[in-house]
Amino acid sequence: MDRYLDLFLNYLLVEKGAAANTVSAYSRDLNRYLLFLGEREPDGIRPSDVTGFLAKLKGEGIAPRSRARALSALRMLHRFLLREGYSELNPTAIIEAPKGVRKLPAVLSGREVEALLSSPLDTGAQELRDKAMLELLYATGLRVSELVGLKLSEVNLSAGYLMTIGKGDKERLVPMGESACHATGVYLQQARGELLKEKASTLLFLSRLGGGMSRQAFWNIIKKRALQAGVRTSISPHTLRHSFATHLLENGADLRSVQIMLGHADLSSTQIYTHVTRERMKKLHADFHPRG
């Protein structure tokens, strides 16, 4: 099966234009699947093998959402094998996805966001960069991979918007807002040249060595800044994306507009934030109403 897996992953990259992160996740799941199957030809795989693999993942404590993602990878692989004539069977056709409780995303309060974005910073190049990245992330709801991959040419400060390429290589325009525009402008004028160190780069945000920043590097930055600001909520770059969407809806934005800004292909992905706002309203009522 290894050679079929190589063909499938190449198909995802070249023909489907899947993101590198997606292909990497599918590769991990499918390699575990092939290891479970052992020496097997495509037509020798049965639905019981698929359910056995999913049961093994469950026994290892793998969450329903992760098992569902693994099943999605298996389905795509077997549909590919069937369509390309490498197999006459699709053992995943009758398998149902694992069911689990959908976890509500963690969201910062308005006060926590203000504390994070207003935390004391030095005027050094790295501090000005961090300030701009945090402001931009909360103002636009970008994914962290989109943030660290932003190019200079994709940001228009005078018009107040940026263009990013999200999942499936889809472009979208997102407003930046006054605070993010100001912080980004200060970074460009006072810090980026110092970080560049006489090198050449098309990227907007640079590491202290003048190259591109990794997602892990920014993860460490946001953790550090949250600690300095006294934010106790567990935080990650995605927390600011969740907060961006939730705060927009809480203040009256329509769901369709938020979907477009987040780059969700399906409105159902955005609807999770309506549940978040309802839960937050219930908590506010319980905390502050005399008979809550």
CB-facing half-sphere around the CA of 175: CA atoms within 13 A: 7
State the catalytic residue, choosing from 79, 215, 264, 280: 264
State the catalytic residue, choosing from 129, 143, 225, 247: 143
Report how far residue 10's alpha carbon sits from residue 156's, in angstroms, rounded to the nearest whole number: 35
- Spatial contact of 79 and 90, defined as CB atoms under 8 Å apart: yes
- Which positions ≥6 away from 13 have C-beta within 8 Å? 20, 23
Annotated active-site residue 65? The verdict is no
How far is Cα of residue 23 from the mean position of the Cα atoms in its chain? 14
User: 């053992």: which residue's tokens?
Assistant: 91
Report how far residue 268's alpha carbon sits from residue 161's, in angstroms, rounded to the nearest whole number: 26
Report how far residue 94's alpha carbon sits from residue 115's, in angstroms, rounded to the nearest whole number: 50
Annotated active-site residue 224? The verdict is no
- Which positions ≥6 away from 235 have C-beta within 8 Å? 106, 108, 116, 222, 223, 226
In this structure, what token pair is assigned to residue 284? 């506010």
Any idea what DSSP says for residue 257?
H
Annotated active-site residue 143? The verdict is yes
State the catalytic residue, choosing from 129, 192, 225, 241: 241
Compute the radius of gyration of the chain from its Cα atoms.
22
Report how far residue 108's alpha carbon sits from residue 35's, in angstroms, rounded to the nearest whole number: 41
How is 91-118 classified by DSSP, letter by letter? TTTTPPPPP-PPPPPP---HHHHHHHHT
State the catalytic residue, choosing from 151, 167, 172, 215: 167
State the catalytic residue, choosing from 26, 33, 138, 273: 273
State the catalytic residue, choosing from 16, 172, 238, 280: 238
Annotated active-site residue 83? The verdict is no
Q: Can you name the residues that pair with 162 across neighbouring β-strands? A: 155, 174
Annotated active-site residue 241? The verdict is yes
* 162: three-class secondary structure by DSSP: strand
* 230: three-class secondary structure by DSSP: coil
Annotated active-site residue 238? The verdict is yes
- Active-site residues, by number, are 143, 167, 238, 241, 264, 273
